[in-house]
Structure 1
């Protein structure tokens, strides 16, 4: 999934052909255009996923492992609903 935007705090919006995901910040600073591959849930923590990151600035050479909390997963319509219910107006 490609990093396509930033949300409140350290949350990142990721998107690919299957949909959109919001992840919390991890150990690496990600930029728009970086790629994040969700691998699997961290055992004992269903909200946390192991990920592999490929940086655009490194021309996608190499993968770096990290763990990130998964805040949302769905399509664009569900994302709009999620943001309207979780954002303070």
Structure 2
């Protein structure tokens, strides 16, 4: 999935041909254009955590770096709009 934007504090918005996702809690600092590959779901906590591979655009996508992150949302754009409305303080 491609990093396409920033949400809230450290959360990132990802998108690919299957939909969108919101992740947070990664150890690396990610930028728009980087790629995140969800590899394996880890035992449940508050949010599902995944083992991920990261490929940095600034490194011209050469090499993968392993990390863990929380997946806070997955779905399509319409579901994302509902999620953001429900979780945003007004």
- TM-score, normalising length from structure 1? 0.96
**Alpha-carbon distance in structure 2 between the residues aligned to 1:79 and 1:57:** 28
The 5-angstrom pairing of residues 1-89 of structure 1 reads: 1-45=1-45, 47-89=48-90
Structure 1 gaps of 5+ residues are: none
Q: Does the residue aligned with 2:68 lie in a helix, a strand or coil?
A: strand
Q: Give CA deviations for 1:15-43 in whole Å, capped at 9, x if unaligned.
A: 00000000013110000000000011113
The answer to whether the 8 A contact 1:54-1:61 is kept is yes
Distance in 2 (CA, whole Å) between partners of 1:25 and 1:44 is 15
In structure 2, list runs of 5 or more residues that go unmatched.
Answer: none
Q: How many residue pairs were aligned?
A: 89
Deviations 1:40-59 (A, max 9, x none): 11135461011000000000
C-alpha RMSD of the superposition: 1.1
Q: Is the 8 A contact 1:35 1:54 kept in 2?
A: yes
Q: Which runs of 4+ in 1 moved over 4 A?
A: none
| Secondary structure in structure 1 of the residue aligned to 2:30 | coil
